[in-house]
A and B are shown apart, each in its own frame.
Chain A
Amino acid sequence: MKILVAVKRVIDYNAKVRVKSDQTDVDLANIKMAINPFCEIAVEEAVRLKEAGIATEIIAVSVGPKACQEQIRSALALGADKGIQIETDHISDSLNIAKLLAKVVKSENIDLVIMGKQAIDSDNNQTGQMLAALLNCGQGTFASKLEIKDQKVLVTREIDGGLQTLSLNLPAVITTDLRLNEPRYAALPNIMKAKRKPLEVKTPQDLGVELKQHTKLLKVAEPSKRQGGTMLNSVDELIEKLKSEIQGI
């Protein structure tokens, strides 16, 4: 079984995000970047399937400028076998990403796609769903458990009311939730081996995809500052306040 994992380069979850003064975007200068945590969970799951003898090859794909090779190397250090970077500066549009990934799934004969349910930068939560639609295959989103049985994937999903288990035919697209697994730390020898693993660079043209601008970023702003609260001395005082300040109770 061949697995594709998608990995996105995002701002490190620990880093403080600043908005550019002209509000056109967030300021990425000198900010620590890392592999999206949900993508890391996807890589871990794929590696576990390989360790269990179910997967034969794991291909890590990232769409973006050259810098995202760092995140592909991270995935290779965790256990992916091969990397593909799709070179482009336009990465804000989920549909474009889904189209590019769909091409790779076809050309590499991928059986299973595992990707994050969302990226922690734009929190779109849609690329996996779009990809499944483009491939016309099953999707198991927000996975908290994954099992492969008789050429089918059993996915336990976290949904509002509790857990739901689906059985999907292959190929299928899985998106990961936080509880699926806890990613390992990359071991030093594997970080070194990662450097020698193959990493191909492709362009959207190579894949025959024309990138379109489906969305437009209008403005980025800081969340408004929280107002300080007031301490009251009694419940009576609270009721008084509610009556006088919030009319209509």
Chain B
Amino acid sequence: MPEYKAPLRDMDFVLNEVLKAEQHYQSLPGYEDATPDMVSAIMEEGAKFAEKVLSPLNQIGDQQGCTWADGKVTTPAGFKEAYQQFVEGGWPSLAHEVEYGGQGLPESLGLVINEMVGTANWSWSMYPGLSHGAMNTLDAHGTEEQKQTYLTKLVEGSWTGTMCLTEPHCGTDLGMLRTKAEPQADGSYKISGTKIFISAGEHDMAENIVHIVLARLPDAPAGTKGISLFIVPKHLPESLSESNGVSCGSIEHKMGIHGNATCVMNFDDATGFLIGPPNKGLNCMFTFMNTARLGTALQGLAHAEWGFQNSLVYAKDRLQMRALNGPAEPDKPADPIIVHPEVRKMLLTQKAFAEGGRAMIYYCAQLVDKVKVSDGEEKEYADGLLAFLTPIAKAFLTEVGFESANHGLQIFGGHGYIAEWGMEQNVRDSRISMLYEGTTQIQALDLLGRKVLMTQGEALKRFTKIVHKFCQAEADTQAMAKFVKPLVEINKEWGDITMQIGMKAMQNRDEVGAASVDYLMYSGYAVLGYLWALMAKEAQEKIAAGTNEEDFYRAKIKTAEFYFARILPRTRSLVATMTSGCESLMDLDAEHFVF
């Protein structure tokens, strides 16, 4: 059976050694509790829960899936009990305010725990994951009374939450949504409409579900400027046994994440309550968009890590063919497949994306902390940087996460295609990550159009300056030259290409769309290049200072070398394609796309 072991050593390396979590937490008000010993005790307990409770349920969840009958959804065997344990452990409360029953720990630490929970069992992790989205909404925009009524229950975990945005005719383009909200004399609203694809919309794990619903007021302007946010509970808090006009019409049969219920939700004059100002619903959602997107970026890391762990064990065990330079293990009938260069390429690719992805997410997570609790210039700076990095993390990491999951399957050969090994499940489960929470294409438009070009390149510069400073500081370190030189070149090229696309876009806006995904992937490889150089530097310094973990640090440097030799050069073809102009995409008339 496939399994998951929390990579605590690697997590510690990224968090504490590369990103200096101790200084980070001690520099932020309110996070004094997050001392290294506390962080490590929390991580160890989280690891236990992920490994022993959630990981064994991952395959069961896929095989059994959720079932729907008479509006009720039953989750796979063991899901409910695991959730109960999760609640008893107080995990939903981790990053929420003490006032509402939270532990007041940093959001970044929450992401570290989510990484373990999500890698062990992504489908299960979405139940508390969606609650987290609902909690962030209430936290940022709810009234005191709303927080006391709903947030406390969500923090406790006895209720879960959802995010109801999508409707049958609109997913990306929320401006078209139709769900209605009629004001009532008592200040509440009657909500009517149909939402589809609502994750965790109905299930048997908690006594109540708090839906955060996007809907329109009667006098609302058309488009995105006429959307408001509502709390619509499955049961009103004062009558938990009665229905509130919210029902689950059916659940979807889908490619992966079978353990998570994807629901059609019908609202029939359901009582709801406005959160935030009228018609400002989308703006309100933007306030924690970055956190939500990082939560999905995590899924890329999760499937890369899971694929890597399981295919590594297999590659050392499976005997097939001989090493090209002669038998590596002559006493065996064949060599383990890890001797073959192409198998190693797939393993190293997964390793580079999993460990690099971890660095990217933890890096962004520290920015999330700063945005949340610092102020003034520091906050503004972190906010801008995070806004730039988030679409990259979301789209790039989920794309390479899917690629990695695929490599994991390939290493198993034909057995990878067979359900029992769990590798095909990993591929299927990972596929959704490039779709929800904004598709890759939408993230790419957000990055190039909104974040980079609309700021005249300022957002990009904020990051390239960091890379530049690093390269300058390391310019004379002989051992770093192999990383610094290509990084300097990319860093300059990045700005040049951006300018080039920007110029073309002034004549033709399609140039932005035509370059966008390639530009985003290029940016992803560049950011990851910087992070791998940072990790290599840390490893070199540890070896130079003397360590009894030389193997661990050497493996870091070797993986960085692999990344620079075999992954970063992917940027060469991306440069070629993204600067080739939009004509090759736009010239063919829609009518001539025949089959």
Contacts and interface: CB of A to CB of B under 8 A. Distances in A.
B41 A70 contact: yes
A188 B38 contact: no
A187 B85 CA distance: 9
Contacts of B5: 14
Contact of B48 (A70, A185, A187): A185
Given A29-B548, A32-B8, A187-B89, A192 B48 contact: no
B205 to A, nearest CB: 18
B414 to A, nearest CB: 26
A32 B44 CA distance: 10
Contacts, number: 49
Interface residues of B, number: 23
Contacts of A185: 45, 48-49, 85, 89
18 contacts: A29-B549, A30-B552, A73-B41, A186-B45, A186-B89, A187-B88, A188-B42, A188-B45, A188-B94, A188-B103, A189-B93, A189-B103, A190-B90, A191-B41, A191-B42, A192-B33, A192-B103, A195-B35
A192 B38 contact: yes
A73 B552 CA distance: 28
A191 B88 contact: no
Nearest to A73: B41
Interface string B30-63: 0001010110011001001100000000000000
Contacts of A115: none
Residue among A30, A190, A192, A194 with the highest chain B CB neighbour number at 10 A: A192
Nearest to B9: A30
B6 to A, nearest CB: 11
A74 interface: yes
B91 A191 contact: no
B83 to A, nearest CB: 14
Main secondary structure of the interface of A (DSSP, over half): helix
Contact of A191 (B35, B38, B548): B38
Interface residues of A, number: 18
A74 to B, nearest CB: 7
Contacts of B42: 188, 191
A30 B548 contact: yes
A153 interface: no
Interface in A171-225: 185-192, 194-195
The 5 closest A-B pairs by CB, nearest first: A188-B90, A29-B548, A187-B90, A189-B90, A187-B89
A77 interface: yes
Residue among B8, B38, B41 with the highest chain A CB neighbour number at 10 A: B41
Interface in B344-360: none
Given A30-B549, A185-B89, A187-B88, 5 more contacts: A29-B549, A30-B548, A188-B89, A189-B93, A192-B103
A1 to B, nearest CB: 26
Interface string B71-114: 00000000000000100111101100000000100000000000
A187 B93 CA distance: 11
A77 B9 CA distance: 22
Given A29-B549, A30-B548, A30-B552, A77 B41 contact: yes
Contacts of A192: 33, 38, 103
Contacts of B91: 188
